Amino acid sequence: MTVDGSTVLVTGASGMLGGAVARALVAGGAQVRTFQRRPARVDGARDVLGSVTDPVATARAVAGCDAVVHLAARVDITGPEDEFRRVNVEGTRHLLAAARAAGAGRFVHVSSPSVAHVGGSLVGAPATAAEPALARGPYARTKAAGELLALETDTAAMRVVVVRPHLVWGPGDTQLIGRVVARARAGRLPVLGSGAPLIDTTYVDNAADALVAALTAPDAACGQAYVVTNGEPRPVLELLRAICVASGAPAPRVHVPGGLARALGAGLDAVWARFPLAGEPPLTRFVAEQLSTAHWFDQRRTREALRWSPRVSLDEGFARLAAAS
């Protein structure tokens, strides 16, 4: 398919990445419809309000669409697993069925590298298979299950591409940037371990470009998952400092042993699972692993299959973050 003139549904467009995808599609000449619980207000796109957990609303949203980019998800650090499952698994199931019934020819499912992360370092890793039983935390487990559902739906009639953008950030980001800055300003942003492990991240415009590219990737690229990053792995301490400097927050200074942090995170996971405590735990095992182990990915297969490459470097991204702060 081509984007220009196509009708494309983007779910989750009220989020940073979903909004960027919708704007990129509008700029490319697509007729864009957005579907989420609150207005996305993307110029040139038409909002349809509702939830992917409602099959009737989902069918209404996707009717007449040539393609779907599915970003809507529950992305909290912790919470009841059945609530994650309702959105990330059953919501995906509803949308896949509705898209197939509507005759959509391409379905781009947005997943996460966390679906295949089981705790160890990832060094130049490929996009290995999603592991719902082994993934860390309810978000990762349910996103893994949702990804497998999407891949199982790939047919000649509706081609499916799974894209796993890794640690997406940019101006206005309330997830990675927002959490790092809030903790830094509260004096609760230690460096776990040495701060030396290399980590990949993705500037938001690059992630959006990759998702748009997945809509027009050759059929040979379909039925598979691809990790998307800037391809510029940097030490975690360097990344944290760059985020803090660009955002006007104090850089982290305190170091906590990585093993201790991972043990503490596992303990806090157990406490939050056992008792109905309000808010997020100060640390989880998954977050501790992410901040104390390497995770960067070989991008050669992704760039060749999607015919995409990043256009905004990390340094330029940090400059844009500073200008917006």
Using CA atoms, how far apart are residues 71 and 90, in angstroms rounded to an integer? 14
Instruction: Tell me which of 105-109, 145-149, 208-212, 253-257 is least confident.
Output: 253-257
Using CA atoms, how far apart are residues 175 and 182, in angstroms rounded to an integer? 10
If you search the block for the tokens 């779910």, which residue do you land on?
A: 11
Q: What's the chain's average pLDDT?
A: 90
pLDDT tens digits, 173-211 = 988 898 889 888 988 888 888 889 999 999 999 999 999
Give pLDDT, residue 193.
82
Give pLDDT, residue 271.
81
Give pLDDT, residue 286.
73
pLDDT-derived band at 163 (thresholds 50, 70, 90) equals: very high
Classified as helix, coil or strand, 234 is strand
pLDDT-derived band at 93 (thresholds 50, 70, 90) equals: very high
Among residues of the chain, what percentage have pLDDT more than 90? Answer: 66
Using CA atoms, how far apart are residues 107 and 157, in angstroms rounded to an integer? 11
Instruction: Tell me which of 92-96, 204-208, 250-254, 318-322 is least confident.
Output: 250-254
pLDDT tens digits, 287-299 = 777 777 888 899 9
Give pLDDT, residue 89.
96
Tally of CB atoms within 10 A around 101: 12
Which residues make Cβ contacts (< 8 Å) with residue 49, sequence separation at least 6? 35, 36, 37, 38, 39
Give pLDDT, residue 228.
97
Using CA atoms, how far apart are residues 237 and 190, in angstroms rounded to an integer? 10
In sequence order, the β-bridge partners of residue 35 are 11, 48
Query: Is the confidence at residue 261, as pLDDT, over 80?
Result: no
Angle, CA 297 vertex, CA 166 and CA 19 arms, to 5° = 25
pLDDT-derived band at 244 (thresholds 50, 70, 90) equals: very high
pLDDT-derived band at 88 (thresholds 50, 70, 90) equals: very high
Q: Is 281 or 218 the better-scoring residue by pLDDT?
A: 218
The residues annotated as belonging to the active site are 139
In sequence order, the β-bridge partners of residue 11 are 35, 70
Q: Is 267 or 59 the better-scoring residue by pLDDT?
A: 59
Give pLDDT, residue 122.
79
Using CA atoms, how far apart are residues 142 and 64, in angstroms rounded to an integer? 29
Torsion angle defined by CA atoms of residues 286, 85, 279 and 19, in that order, rounded to the nearest 10 degrees: 90
Torsion angle defined by CA atoms of residues 73, 75, 76 and 80, in that order, rounded to the nearest 10 degrees: 50
Query: Is the confidence at residue 282, as pLDDT, over 90?
Result: no
Give pLDDT, residue 25.
97
Give pLDDT, residue 80.
84
* Residue ranges in 202-325 assigned as alpha helix (H): 204-216, 236-247, 258-274, 285-292, 300-306, 314-324
Query: Is the confidence at residue 285, as pLDDT, over 80?
Result: no
Using CA atoms, how far apart are residues 101 and 263, in angstroms rounded to an integer? 47
Give pLDDT, residue 128.
85
* CATH code of domain 7-172+200-232+298-314: 3.40.50.720
**Burial class of 129 by CB neighbour count within 10 A (0 to 12, 13 to 18, 19+):** exposed
- Residue 10 near residue 35 (C-beta atoms within 8 A): yes
Give pLDDT, residue 218.
95
